[in-house]
Amino acid sequence: MPRRRQEAQGHLITMVVDTRNAELAAKETYLLAQDAHLAALRHARKEGETLDNLADALECSKQWIHKWTTFGREHNRVYAKSA
């Protein structure tokens, strides 16, 4: 790493900016897919599907499905919400 500031190397700056933009686009796509998955889980629960069957199908715990469908993205928060 150089110790003094130098002229920007355009191709490297472009590469970094492009990969950051790709990362942001991928995150947006991931969040949309996550929202769709959550909506599907909530719909299945509303229609009467059991936690046991969903847990077996997704190969995860019933507790995770309950927390995810109840709290959504907030399911991993440690703190308790005050009333």
Q: Are 81 and 74 in contact (CB under 8 A)?
A: no
Per-residue pLDDT of the chain (83 residues; tens, 9 = 90+): 667 888 888 999 999 999 999 999 999 999 999 999 999 999 999 999 999 999 999 999 999 999 889 888 776 665 555 55
Contact partners, residue 66, CB within 8 Å, separation at least 6:
51
| Of 77, 74, 73, residue with least CA distance to 35 | 73
**Does the pTM of the predicted model rise above 0.85?**
no
CA-CA distance, 44 to 50, in Å (whole number)? 8
